[in-house]
Structure 1
Amino acid sequence: MASVVDAEPWYVSLLGLAETFRTSNPPNIRLCIHCLQSIFNFQPSPRIESRTHLQLGNILLAHTKNLDLARFHLEKAWAISSNLASVDDVRFEAASVLAQVFEKQLEVNLAKPILRRAIEISQQAPYWHCRLLFHLAQIHASEREYASACQLLGVGSDFALTARSDYLRLLFLLSKGMLLLVDKKVSEVKEVLSLSGALIEHYKGSPTQKESLNVFFLVLQVCHYLMAGQVKSVKPCLKQLQQSIQTVTQLHSDDEPLSSNQIDQFQWLPKEHMCVLVYLVTVMHSMQAGYMDKAQKYTDKALMQIEKLKMLDAHPLLSSFQLMLLEHIIMCRLIMGSKSAAIQEIFQACNVCQQQPRLFSTHGAQIHTLLGLYAMSMNCMEAAESQFNTAFKLSSEIDLRTFVKLNLAIVYLRTNRPTNLISLLETVVTPSSKVSSSSSSSSSSSSRKSTDSEIMNRIGSHSLRASAFYVRGLQAFFQASYSEAKRYLRETLKMANAEDLNRLTSCSLVLLGHIFLSLGNNREAMNMVTPAMQLAGKIPDVHVQLWASSLLKDLYHLCGDQVNEAEGYRMHTNFSQDLLKDHFQSSQMSEHGLIQWTEGPCPFHLSSEASSSML
């Protein structure tokens, strides 16, 4: 429990007895607490008094639900120890644990000044100084105060340099890079990653530490590419990451000599958590690239690993990983036409958030976006609109807001609301009135170039920019402005092919095929629809397959090819029946009622399991 060198005999006896009760089988926590409280009857020195309050606070936190009493003892431990002249670990541990209690009680503004004060007085205790810097940076990051968090991590990096710890310097630098990435500070991210990459390459520490730093570095690089929508460009980095995690799992840190520098004891993530994280970024890549089967395979592996790890230690980070995996697999299900599985997994995502309430504030917008996508797939357009509007209000993240707007635009297209559509697209891309002319005049050409330039500049992600062109193409198609539609869709295809955005490619091809069919150009229509069907089959995207098979049977009928027309009809019928069957199944599920939830706590009573248990 604590060092008892040179302590009074009564203190040693009570401390030993408390430890006996704590470690007995089963532990007798009540008597352990009673022994520690007895120490105060002897009017101990401030050093022993503060240590005892810390021990009581820790035991109450670990073994009881009495958070207020634990907080009382921790506050006493901090108040007494922070005024002592000698450097003592008690004051720093008390500050750290007390800050954690304030976080649990959603009073982070009380945690910040305590941690700042502890950081000021911990200069002579390098381990605690760095740990407290990480802790305060984490609190600022959770409050989305990224500039403050990055400033603290920069202080930590400089401190690690003076303390001659290359390992910890890199941990601070990479953590700063991670927050800069979240905050979309692209140029600063590149600067930090460039410096970190060079330092890792010349790192002379233990192989395990070097490889774990390399995994951290490569994860940031992969995420950097994926956030920019550069699915093809990221492949070499992703391959390196997958090789690096294999190396990490084969290394045994027990066989390596321990560093003499105490601050080298920090660990970014346990190996098992790193493996889950690599699965997650692989799923993110597969999802963006349009490899749904691959995304599903790696999601299953990652979720299985998370369940095993949660049985040992339900770390909050595992819930975050689990939620992000569910968000991606839900989108896969919707693309693959499995709406019934998607709505159940949305409900599962809500349950994960209930276990870690903070996740509702960080992922609420994503959950409502998924409900909007589900409602749209079920043709519940009013509910889809409500969900997308809720998601937009909850989110401050530019790319997610853009994604929501583009899907809301499709809702307006499908419900024939051109006024709402034009107003919405003005906030994403320039309005169609500026590019509606099909004239080949120089002024028209200049206007189009200006429009395209504005589209490119307003949206950061390559894939989202390509998607914006697709939505504009879809808008022009609905208006029968086929020339404009083709122009936008060709731009989409150019961008999609540049980064292997397979789903966007298949959607653009089938829409171009539909346009050529409408124009009576059957040969060109066939040249578009056939590869669209093949690509959609590889994804697989059931909705594009349904659309393409409908066009194919019409094209073969016009060509007089009865055999292929019959095959096209058969495929279209099969896709239609599968989707209708799943649609009916989804509509009958109690979880389907989630599409009406836009405010307040999640209606968990809608669970199918809850409903069946009530019967």
Structure 2
Amino acid sequence: QIPSFEDVKFEAASLLAELYCQQNLVDSAKPLLRKAIQISQQTPYWHCRLLFQLAQLHTLEKDLISASDLLGVGAEYARVVGSEYTRVLFLLSKGLLLLMERKLQEVHPILSLCGTLVEGWQGNPIQKESLRIFFLVLQVTHYLDAGQMKSVKPCLKQLQQGIQTISTLHDDEILPTNPADLFHWLPKEHMCVLVYLVTVMHSMQAGYLEKAQKYTDKALMQIEKLKILDTSPILSSFQVMLLEHIIMCRLVTGHKALALQEISQACQLCQQSPRLFSNHAAQLHTLLGLYSVSVNCMESAEAQFTTALRLTSHQELWTYIVTNLASVYIREGNRHQDQLYTLLERINPDHNFPVSSHCLRAAAFYIRGLLSFFQGRYNEAKRFLRETLKMSNAEDLNRLTACSLVLLGHIFYSLGNH
């Protein structure tokens, strides 16, 4: 009996499953991993690692329910074998999937439990800080998804302080005594880029465009440095998301040629990876639609937005695209009246709005106000725009506030209230 034979057996199963996935033989990888999980319960490190691996496989296949169940099993197993650290890793990973599924009722108790566990955990400072950063990233992205730019500020500040703290800590060479603790969420360098990315997302949505530009430059420079030695696909994902946000900044500030160059750059990055391309195709068409609007090519904008709608199943992105397509139809006058009213019914902010995003709902009120203004129904337009202002002021949505005030100014001018 070779003492480490169990390790060899489970590593072989893990590598073989990876090989199957690279060859698109996912259906061969799954039963192999299930069998390995079943017989590895006496080997905590491998049992946890194989659970993470199978959960990741289900996530890539967009089977988030199976992935979430496996992470729940992992959290309970880690608790039983006395690994609070890995238990929190499993729980935070499950929280991430629940956020992706928009199961907000289920995510709140998990995040609340994780917050308590992280604060109470006495262990390696780097491990503790990395759990705290994972926890704060989930909180920040939850607020950003909900379009709450003001509410997110305290969490974002803690996250930025956390990344500074972890950057000053030295990696301890002392290995954890519990083999189930031998995991980490992300390397410190990747965490740093991720914090830049969520800062850019916040700055872009809140209208702090210079700040968005500054942090995008820092993050892209860091990614270029890391890519010299690091082939991790997550860096390309971060790069594409940063480009998507900075392209929107360019369009808002009128740097259209630069925006087009960066759209081309994002396309080239996506073409290097089929998964990246399928995950970002709708966003790329949306950006081309926004560019077309900025250069007044409404037919092209309509074609790009329609294609993007066909490619996305993401509710927030779908609502964002519909809002922009509605603005194109409004600008084109009576040509698309039927389609316009159908779209407006699907993003009615007064009732059955499709997503919980504060920002998108405020934008839907603005679109209604814009239509009423063009139709000369000024009192109705004022009602919608005041609603937009109330919502955008509550959450520091500065660009929506500015647009609403400009349009209200036009309305008062038209009514003779100079």
Amino acid at match of 1:246: Q
Task: Write the deviation string for residues 14-54 of structure 1: whole angstroms up to 9, x where unpaired.
Answer: xxxxxxxxxxxxxxxxxxxxxxxxxxxxxxxxxxxxxxxxx
Task: Write the deviation string for residues 352-395 of structure 1: whole angstroms up to 9, x where unpaired.
Answer: 11222210111111111111111111111111111111111111
Note if 1:144 corresponds to 2:41.
no
Note if 1:105 corresponds to 2:23.
yes
Q: After TM superposition, give the deviation of residue 189 of structure 1 in Å.
A: 1.2
Amino acid at match of 2:114: S
Q: d(CA) in 1 for partners of 2:47 and 2:76?
A: 12
Please state whether the residue corresponding to 1:426 is helix, strand or coil.
helix
| 2:337 corresponds to | 418
| 2:372 corresponds to | 476
Task: Give the unaligned 5+ runs of structure 2.
Answer: none
Amino acid at match of 1:419: D
| 1:489 corresponds to | 385
Task: Give the unaligned 5+ runs of structure 1.
Answer: 7-85, 430-451, 523-615
| 2:32 corresponds to | 114
8 Å CA contact 1:476, 1:484 repeated in 2: yes
Note if 1:346 corresponds to 2:242.
no
Amino acid at match of 1:287: M
List 4+ stretches of structure 1 deviating above 4 A: none
Note if 1:232 corresponds to 2:176.
no
Q: Which has the larger radius of gyration?
A: 1
User: Which of 24, 43, 51 is 1:133 aligned to?
Assistant: 51
Note if 1:196 corresponds to 2:114.
yes
Note if 1:427 corresponds to 2:343.
no
Task: Write the deviation string for residues 221-277 of structure 1: whole angstroms up to 9, x where unpaired.
Answer: 00011111110000000000011111100011226x432111211010110000000
Q: TM-score, normalised by structure 1?
A: 0.66
Task: Write the deviation string for residues 56-113 of structure 1: whole angstroms up to 9, x where unpaired.
Answer: xxxxxxxxxxxxxxxxxxxxxxxxxxxxxx9622332222222222222233222212
Aligned residues: CA RMSD: 1.5
8 Å CA contact 1:290, 1:501 repeated in 2: yes
| 2:76 corresponds to | 158
Q: d(CA) in 1 for partners of 2:24 and 2:369?
A: 47
Q: d(CA) in 1 for partners of 2:354 and 2:269?
A: 34
Note if 1:319 corresponds to 2:246.
no
Q: d(CA) in 2 for partners of 1:106 and 1:227?
A: 32
8 Å CA contact 1:428, 1:459 repeated in 2: no
Q: After TM superposition, give the deviation of residue 415 of structure 1 in Å.
A: 1.2
Note if 1:383 corresponds to 2:279.
no
| 1:458 corresponds to | 354
Q: TM-score, normalised by structure 2?
A: 0.97
Q: d(CA) in 2 for partners of 1:422 and 1:515?
A: 22
Note if 1:518 corresponds to 2:410.
no
User: Which of 127, 133, 140 is 1:222 aligned to?
Assistant: 140
| 1:44 corresponds to | none
Q: After TM superposition, give the deviation of residue 497 of structure 1 in Å.
A: 0.1
| 1:267 corresponds to | 184
| 1:252 corresponds to | 170
User: Which of 215, 228, 248 is 1:331 aligned to?
Assistant: 248
User: Which of 181, 192, 195 is 1:278 aligned to?
Assistant: 195
Q: d(CA) in 1 for partners of 2:20 and 2:175?
A: 35
Q: d(CA) in 1 for partners of 2:82 and 2:300?
A: 58
Task: Write the deviation string for residues 424-473 of structure 1: whole angstroms up to 9, x where unpaired.
Answer: 111221xxxxxxxxxxxxxxxxxxxxxx5405x43310000000000000
Q: d(CA) in 2 for partners of 1:347 and 1:95?
A: 40
Q: After TM superposition, give the deviation of residue 206 of structure 1 in Å.
A: 0.8
8 Å CA contact 2:319, 2:354 repeated in 1: no
Please state whether the residue corresponding to 2:346 is helix, strand or coil.
coil
Q: d(CA) in 2 for partners of 1:461 and 1:476?
A: 23
| 1:611 corresponds to | none
Amino acid at match of 2:134: F
8 Å CA contact 1:282, 1:295 repeated in 2: yes
| Number of residue-to-residue matches in the alignment | 416
Amino acid at match of 1:487: R
